[in-house]
Structure 1
Amino acid sequence: MKIVKKNSAETLGDILAHSIFLKVGRIRKGKIISQEDINLMLQDGIENIYVGVFDNDDLDENYASKKIAEAICVDGVTRSPTYSGKTNITSKYDGLIEIDKEKVFELNRLSTNIAVSTLNNHDIVYNGDHILSVKIISYAINKADLEKIINFLNTNKIIQLKPFKSLKFGIIYTESVNEKKNIIEKTKKSIKSRVSDYNSTIMDEIIVNHDIEAIKLALEKQLTMDIDCVLFFLSSSVADVSDILPSIISELGGKITSYGMPLDPGNLTLSGYINNHKILVAAGSARSDALNGLDWHLNSLHAGIEIDQDIIDSLGVGGLLKDIDFAVRRKRISKNINTKKANIAAIVLSAGESKRMGEDNKLLLKVNGKTIIANYIENISKSNVSEILVVTGHQSDLIQGELEKYDVNFIYNPDYKDGMSTSLRAGINALSANIDAAMICLPDMPLIGIYEINKLIDYYNPKIGNEICIATSNEQRGNPVLWDKKYFNELSDIKGDKGGRHLLSQYEEKSVEVNLGEAVSFDVDTKSSYNSLK
């Protein structure tokens, strides 16, 4: 492909190399130029533009990005629609992602025209989280390069998702003479929180003196129970592999798999097993809620990853955990656990006639085998919203038919032809009484997924003034927008074919912008924008 300067009238089918700003709006770079685009440019006096012209052996960036992403996908992940040469791969489950760093390096070396970016190996991922992105750097890629990349991926898997599974725990605490009495109670509270993050269960708790016989009896008891892992909190951390607890494990026919780890805090964590029971011995620092080497072991254990000393030794780079925000590095896995979260409703405005699309209802067009509206609702239904209202109008029966398997409430707006404000009002008026805030959603945005919805919700915090959360991309505001309930009356009073955007200028001090990336900047309004998706 070459970037050349051409007469605007002669660019039909070429790729726009640089964005152009017209009186009617912007034509984005990377767009395949249509006759309508040419007419608009000529009307504005733009006679020459820079375009990308394909060579005979070039392939479109979206086609190539989609094919590479499909070759990377494994069980438990899914790909987003492809736009602007980029495809995201997201998780379908909560778990750990395994990344083969060397193979990713080798993959990126196959062509200077691709960029595959991933999370770190053994990062926690949640349903809807982005794991990996595939970006074609230019607007096209050489066919031979793409074939080389696909052949490599057909024989080399670079990612694997390990879903978390709930486990049963036995906990043994040891105490020493003159030890503070509240230490064990604080530890119980901390480990209960940690274990519940995985929807796991503490089946038995025993407190014994820090004495070899007492510890051995407690361990023998729990080994007879239906328990997956015995976790120890000792009044005195293991000082050597010849110490009391490692000796007991060996005496009972077990094996030490690791002792000591380059994660700080948590250096003195020990792991092993006896028959089918995993054994974990926490470092003293794990009594705190702060991120610890114990958390790494718990992640691996729940993901079913077998640990050995080689894996442990590889953790040194990035292993300094001090001063890292605990909330960023470890969070709750199940949205149902965090009962203190606000009740957020999603109002999905689906009543419009999509006139710019011609005869087609854009919400009923298909992307990745599903209609645009079904894809959008499926993502929202897996997010942290507690109620979904779908406001219908034009072709209401068809919209409802596409969504009949989802747990949503339909609100028919008979006045939909009078503008978006009527649908907004219908949705606001139908909200349940216990709703704290509502997210106003436009379903013609197929790149908005679970991750984007949840990130917007995470920023909602009226206590610190975050009452309105606005999705942005490159500092440009877009949708969705989340509104606290105190604004519902004003939203209901809006007239005409507009949403709540004009209210934002009145409440800047109560608003927070949330960067959600390119997902915010793309919607399906025209046949050209729909055709740009893969």
Structure 2
Amino acid sequence: MRFGPVPLAEAEGAILAHSERVAEGRLRKGVTLERAHLDALAAAGLREVTVARLEAGDVHEDAAARRLALALREGAEGLEATRARMGRVNLLAERAGLVVIDRAAVDAANAVDPVITVATVAPFHGLRAGGMAATVKIIAYAVPETALARAEAAARGAMRFATPRYGTATLIVTDSVGGPGLKGVDAIAQRLDGFDMTLTETRRTAHEIDALAEAIAAAEGDVVLILTGSATSDIRDTAPEALRRAGGEVTRFGIPVDPGNLSFTGRLGTRPVVGLPGSARSPVLHGADWVLGRVICDVGLSDSEMAAMGVGGLLKEMPSRPSPRRG
């Protein structure tokens, strides 16, 4: 690609590099200059303009962005590529779900040429319908075909979109002396709504193993959530033990995300179970959001994957926490 100032007489068919004021308004950068454009520029007093001119083997920014975006989401359902404009194509969620990303592949695509860029949300980020998962931006007016082909190969299939496997949930709230009661139920319902799920029932029971086990066994939702009135401090504490007594199993206690350390996961037959710490009563970003998204969409639930939540897992402090990080 050739780039630089040229006399107006030589600019026809080239791409205008910088926006210019003309009598009719503003002639925006990126437009392919036609005779009428040149007449308007001349009438505005310009004698030369800065342009980009594609050469053999170059791919226009819009075509390049479109190709790379389609390679990035190849094989994925639920991600829509927008129309290319000014070298940019966005990937948008068609429904609620989680973005699953092969980071090494995206890094490799970005390493090909500095003018070829892919920016994504964080891995396992939850989106509602219409949310942006990634943006592909070609930051020059053209890119060499050879470089684009290498970036396409590196990025191919690097993004997929995991959608919810479940539609309903039961929330069991345990009561303890002086506890918060049903406070926070709305926040949990809002989290579920973000994944197009419905909180179909809320059960309230004593914070005791037998009573909680009975409530768990009677739960009707596709997913069972337990919000305890007293903190779960050990894998043998009240809520995990109640799940086992109800015939279920605990698969993990504790995650390296703060707030949210005291979350636990398990199963009751084929249904997932999530134990939520009291801090999940707040609607702010919480480890519960990370766990719920992965559980609901059935991705990233191995021990190693959950252990890897720690980098980036230090979330904003909640002023309402009874034991803040700074005493």
Corresponding letter in the other structure for 1:133: T
Structure 2 distance, partners of 1:173, 1:126, is 27
* Partner AA of 1:152 in structure 2: A
TM-superposition CA deviations, 1:409-430 (whole Å, max 9, x none):
xxxxxxxxxxxxxxxxxxxxxx
The 3-state SS of whatever aligns with 2:89 is: strand
CA contact (8 A) 2:174 2:228 kept: yes
Letter matched to residue 78 of structure 2? G
SS at match of 1:185: coil
Cα separation, 2, equivalents of 1:190 and 1:65:
39
For 2:209, the equivalent position in structure 1 comes to: 212
Residue of structure 2 equivalent to 1:36: 36
Identity of aligned residues (%): 27
Contact 1:258–1:308 under 8 Å retained in 2: no
User: For the structure 1 residues 70 and 287, does the alpha-carbon distance in structure 2 shift closer, same or farther, using more than 3 Å as the test?
Assistant: closer
Task: Provide the rounded CA distance (Å) in 2 between the counterparts of 1:194 and 1:277.
Answer: 18
CA contact (8 A) 1:195 1:202 kept: no
Alignment pair present for 1:227 and 2:221: yes
Q: Residue 201 of structure 2 aligns to which amino acid in structure 1?
A: M
Give the one of 106, 109, 113 matched to 1:107: 109
Q: Give the equivalent residue in structure 2 for 1:122.
A: 124
- For 2:142 and 2:318, the matched residues in 1 are separated by 41
Residues in 1 aligned to 2:45 and 2:318: alpha-carbon distance in whole angstroms = 55
What is the rounded CA distance, in whole Å, between the counterparts of 1:171 and 1:5 in structure 2? 66
Q: How does 1:312-461 map to 2 (within 5 A)?
A: 312-323=306-317
Aligned to 1:63: 63
How far residue 297 of structure 1 moved from its aligned partner, in angstroms, is 2.2
Aligned pairs for 1:14-413 within 5 A: 14-73=14-73, 74-153=76-155, 156-164=156-164, 166-176=166-176, 179-180=177-178, 183-197=180-194, 198-203=196-201, 205-208=203-206, 210-222=207-219, 226-250=220-244, 254-323=248-317
Q: Equivalent residue of 2:130, what SS?
A: coil
Residues 202 and 10 from structure 1, CA distance in 2 versus in 1: closer, same or farther, beyond 3 angstroms?
A: same
Distance 1:83 1:192 in 2: 38
Distance 1:23 1:66 in 2: 33
Aligned partner of residue 183 in structure 2, secondary structure: helix
Shift in Å, 1:195: 3.9
1:33/1:294 CA distance change after superposition, 3 Å = same
Flag the 1:16–1:174 CA change in 2: closer, same or farther, 3 A: closer
* Offset at residue 277 of structure 1 (A): 1.9
Aligned residues: 316
Which whole-Å CA distance do the structure 2 matches of 1:233 and 1:126 have between them? 24
Q: Distance in 1 between matches of 2:318 and 2:135?
A: 25
Structure 1 distance, partners of 2:318, 2:37, is: 50
Deviation at 1:279, TM superposition (A): 1.5
Distance 1:129 1:217, change over 3 A: closer
Name whichever structure is richer in helix by fraction.
1
Structure 1 pair 190/148, CA: closer, same or farther in 2 (3 Å)?
Answer: closer
Matches of 2:185 and 2:66, distance apart in 1: 48
1:289-335 Cα offsets, whole Å, 9 max, x none, are 4433223222223323252222222222332333589xxxxxxxxxx
- Deviation of 1:188 after TM superposition, in Å, equals 4.1
Task: Identify if the C-alpha distance between structure 1 residues 26 and 217 changes in structure 2 by more than 3 Å, giving closer, same or farther.
Answer: closer
Measure the CA separation in 2 of the matches of 1:14 and 1:230: 61
Q: Which has the higher contact order (CA 8 A, sep 6+)?
A: 2
Contact 1:90-1:130 at 8 Å conserved across structures:
yes
Equivalent residue number for residue 475 of structure 1? none
Measure the CA separation in 1 of the matches of 2:252 and 2:124.
18
Looking at structure 2, the residues matched to 127 and 114 of structure 1 have their Cα atoms a distance apart, in angstroms, of 27
How far did 1:34 drift?
Answer: 0.8
